[in-house]
Structure 1
Amino acid sequence: MRIRISVFIIATLLATTAVAQSAVENGTALTLREAVAKAQLQAPALQGADAAVRAAEANVQLSGLRPNPTLSLEAENVMGSGRYTGLGGGEKTASFSIPLELGGKRQARVGVARAERTAAGIGARAAQADLTLQVTEAFVSLAASERHAQIAKTSHALAERAFHAARERVRAGKASPIEEQRADVLRINTEVRLGKAVRAAELAQSNVVRLTGVAKPFTIASPWFEHVEHIETPAGSGAGLAIVAAETEVDAAYARIIAARSDRIPDVTLTAGMRRYGETSDKAAVLGLSIPLPLFNPGTAAVSRSRAEYDRAVAARRAAGLAFEQSMEQANAEVADAAAAARAANGPALAAAEEAARIARLGYREGKFPQLELIEAERSLAETRQQSVDALTALHTARARLARLQGSNSPIYKD
């Protein structure tokens, strides 16, 4: 049963690799740039952000419109008795009323709407940057899981060979049967790790599928994964979207102060009409002027509220600046630490572990080294390779998060 499972896992991995190689040969390998572009076409978050921008744009147009006039038709002294029976004996008035906004209310509304439109645009950029980070992390995870699966496959193949070699040595009387048991345990453990790595790769591929909508099976192109130095990272806005968003909130809050001050000035409604008296042909003009009296609500509370909101926005802007500085320092430190760890894991340490494993295999095959040294060398090599991939994964993830912090919504690497 163990051998059958092992064969099935290896066959599955080989089939996946063959499909991937065929896809690469056909030029259909998915790049990071293509993954980000595909995700942007179908992401609900971007669709919602786009709707918010369109709503803000419509609000700018709406805020610039003047109030609608009013047409009034009135009939007085009707539906009574005597000469006022019915509708013919009363006065009939047709009037036209138009409100006049004073104090620059319309301009103030437009100012608030434009500030909110700018904030919506920043929100859309932030949604794009968040999606780019999400796709990049999923892409990096898939690239790493594929390499983990390849490492597990290699370790399992070596364990299979070591098991067969130990069995031959036992049959030839050159080793104790316990060596065969140890080799079998090692083979079983690598088989379990291989299955886990294959499932992790499938899960990582499913995550990319959910984000991008690509169809399985597919392969990815990630030549940048093994690179530590000389990788171009696109520059963001420099100030960070969090600070830019906080600044737009300050502008919007100040625009609301102006709007609240303008609202304190009462509007005027002008009325002009014509009245006809009873059954005669006498007519007379009707003129009217109405002004609301700010006795109970003079608008001071609204101004105080808008000022308080402005102070809150200013404080939030300062807090965003401090948080951005701290986050930038931490992100830069994480990138530097990850780069140092990646260089160390992919440098002399990996070469030494590979050479030690090679010597241990030769020595064990020739009977010069005990089995425990071979097992230790293989375990050390597998761990070093895993650490190498993990270090590269941490480096690429740290760079992606730094780019997001800087406000970049483009892929961090050129494919």
Structure 2
Amino acid sequence: MSSNRWPPRAALACVVSGVLCTQVTAQTAPSFQTLLRQAQVSAPRLALGAAETRVAEGQAAQAATRPNPTLGLMVENAAGHGSYKDFDSAETTLTIEQPLELGGKRAARTSAAQADLAAAQARAALGQVDFARDLALAYANAEAAQQRLAIAKDGVDLAQADAKAARLLVDNGKEAQVRAVQAEAGLATARADLAAVQAEAEAGLARLSALAGSSETYVAVAGGLLDAAPALPPPGPTFSPAIAAARAERDAAERRIAVERARRTPDLAVSFGVRQFQSDNSTAAVFGVSVPLPLFDRNRGSVAAATANAQVAQARLAMAQTEQDGDRRAATAQVAAAGQTLEASRQAESAASEAYRLARIGYDAGRLPLSELLAARRDLIAARSRAVETKLARVKAVADLARAQGAIPFGDQP
């Protein structure tokens, strides 16, 4: 009968919104790849990575600059008593002082800033891959919730048809009144499930909208990701943005050790000036050199802290390298298992659909009890739900594998 048929995929967006498709087209999330491209300019997470890179660029440019000179003006022997009254015997000195960085401070600072910039760029690249993976999962979850909603709506339709059939048999004296009550209870349960799934679908769409940086909450997704044929990355050694980011962080931490060591060397400050003697209107040159005495502060604590930070960064790199191969192997196994499970779930769904069809025919003919029909309907809904969950698990496995290999999941999809 027509109520047994699975709703066409094009109607799923209408189901989730509860209104005509033409009314929600402008608010429907596009395909995953289109949404991913749009999110490049709207997603807050990607904007954060770009901003952090610009910060590092500015700091790298600043690190290469030299210290500014200091211009000084000093007036001595003025506004006193006797011969020093007013400015008649004043001595005015105009100087310019230039700090000279010693110990390779500027070179070490510039090198460390460039390493920090490389680390920021590596983190941004890792953020792009992580974001694509998270967006794929959010999109797939929203699409799965949309399909669950279609299943729940179909379940209500089937429960209504079953309750109607039970009531008809009761009215004709072929069933006891309790059967109609049981059928109505099943209908009430189906309606409650529909309300819960509706809330879940709305929450999934809200999370997708927030992640993509959409100004409005989507009311549906165009879909296609759950049923997309995954494009698996090629086997063998691949680029890992996680390892690249960890290595860049390690390099930056090691270069900061050189910065702290260079700071142990005191800097010179040389000055040159001209002094004017007001009493005879004569002038003379003034020269000076100053250097701090490193008696108390040799920057030992900062060197020790920088060394420890480099050791922490090295440990994180080792962890990333250790986890990389394990993550890739695990994700590959999950993708293979998800493909096998998906085929089994499809067969189970087909069998459950046929079982319900036969149970309905048998119940209408009076050959099967209502309990058999209700059980067949529950099995059908459960089989359809398992198929959705299996497709969702495959998307997650493919997204995890793509992240482990530094690729964008479902990159060949339109």
Q: TM-score interval w.r.t. the shorter chain?
A: 0.7 to 0.9
Could you report, residue by residue, the CA deviation over 1:364-389 in whole angstroms, capped at 9, with x for unpaired residues? 22223222222221111111111111
Provide, for residues 337-377 of structure 1, a one-character-per-residue CA deviation record: whole Å limited to 9, x for no partner. Answer: 3332222111x222211111111111222223222222221
Q: Contact 2:15/2:149 (CA < 8 Å) preserved in 1?
A: no
* 1:198, distance to aligned residue in structure 2 (A): 2.3
Which residue of structure 1 lines up, in the alignment, with residue 41 of structure 2?
41
- 2:226 is the counterpart of 1:225: yes
1:173 is matched with 173
Alignment of 1:303-322 (within 5 A): 303-322=303-322
Computed over aligned residues only, the root mean square deviation of the Cα atoms, in angstroms, reads: 2.8
The answer (yes or no) to whether the contact 1:264–1:299 under 8 Å persists in 2 is yes
Number of the residue aligned with 1:414: 413
Partner of residue 9, structure 2: none
Q: 1:70 to 1:410 in 2, by over 3 A?
A: farther
Alpha-carbon distance change, 14 to 253 in structure 1, aligned in 2, over 3 angstroms: closer
Larger deviation, residues 331-340 vs 233-242: 233-242
Q: Which residue of 2 aligns with 1:358?
A: 357
Q: 1:281 is matched with which residue?
A: 281
**Equivalent residue runs for 1:3-402 within 5 Å:** 16=17, 19-20=20-21, 30-212=30-212, 213=214, 215=216, 218-227=219-228, 230-233=229-232, 238-346=238-346, 348-402=347-401
Separation of aligned partners in 2, 1:114 and 1:251: 10
Residue 147 of structure 1 deviates from its aligned partner by 0.9
Alpha carbons of structure 1 residues 302 and 252: separation in structure 2 relative to 1, 3 Å: same
- Give the Cα–Cα distance (whole angstroms) in 2 for the partners of residues 254 and 210 of structure 1: 38
Partner of 2:8: none
Structure 2 Cα separation of the partners of residues 371 and 122 of structure 1: 63
In structure 2, do the counterparts of structure 1 residues 27 and 305 end up closer, same or farther at CA, with 3 Å as the change threshold?
Answer: closer
- Could you say if the C-alpha distance between residues 118 and 411 of structure 1 is closer, same or farther in structure 2, counting changes exceeding 3 Å? farther
Q: What is the CA distance between 1:247 and its match in structure 2?
A: 0.7
Which digits, 9 at most, give the CA deviation of each residue in 1:42-63, with x for residues without a partner?
3333333322222111111111
Q: One-letter code of the match for 2:251?
A: D
Deviations 1:23-54 (A, max 9, x none): 66x99661112333344433333333322222
Distance in 2 (alpha carbons) for counterparts of 1:365 and 1:353: 18
Take 1:261 and 1:176, find their aligned partners in 2: how far apart are those partners? 92
Q: Give me the TM-score of the superposition, normalised by structure 2.
A: 0.87
Question: Counterparts of 1:21 and 1:413 in 2: how far apart (Å)?
Answer: 29
- The alpha carbon displacement at 1:69 in A equals 0.5
3-state SS, counterpart of residue 283 of structure 1 = strand
Q: How has the CA–CA distance of structure 1 residues 17 and 399 changed in structure 2, closer, same or farther, with 3 Å as cutoff?
A: farther
Which segment drifts farther, 255-264 or 66-75?
Answer: 255-264
Does the C-alpha gap of structure 1 residues 260 and 210 become closer, same or farther in structure 2, counting only changes over 3 Å? Answer: closer
Residue pair 2:16, 2:150 contacting (<8 A) in 1 also: no
Task: Pick closer, same or farther for the CA change 1:20–1:214 going to 2, 3 Å.
Answer: farther
Cα offset, 1:301, TM superposition: 4.5
Residues 413/142 of structure 1: CA separation in 2 closer, same or farther (3 Å cut): farther
Q: Tell me, what secondary structure is at the counterpart of 2:286?
A: strand
Contact 1:100–1:270 under 8 Å retained in 2? yes
1:252: Cα distance to partner?
0.8
| Partners of 1:132 and 1:411 within 8 A in 2 | no
| 1:216 Cα deviation from its structure 2 partner | 5.7
Contact 1:40–1:131 under 8 Å retained in 2? no
Moved more, 231-240 or 218-227: 231-240
Q: Distance in 2 between matches of 1:84 and 1:22?
A: 92
- Contact in 1 for aligned 2:16/2:201 (Cα 8 Å): no
CA distance in 2, matches of 1:308, 1:203: 44
In 2, the alpha carbon distance for the partners of 1:234 and 1:118 equals 26
1:224-268 CA-to-partner distances (Å, cap 9, x unmatched) read: 3134xx422568994433322221121112211222232233322
Instruction: Work out the percentage of aligned pairs sharing the same amino acid.
Output: 31
The alignment covers a number of residue pairs equal to 400
Equivalent position amino acid for 2:170 in 1 = V
- Report the residue type matching 1:354 in the other structure: S
Q: Is the 8 A contact 1:151 1:385 kept in 2?
A: yes
SS where residue 275 of structure 1 aligns?
strand
Q: SS at 2:72's partner residue?
A: strand
1:127-156 deviations in Å (ceiling 9; x for gaps):
333433333222111111111111112222
**1:410/1:231 CA distance change after superposition, 3 Å:** closer
Distance 1:317 1:290, change over 3 A: same
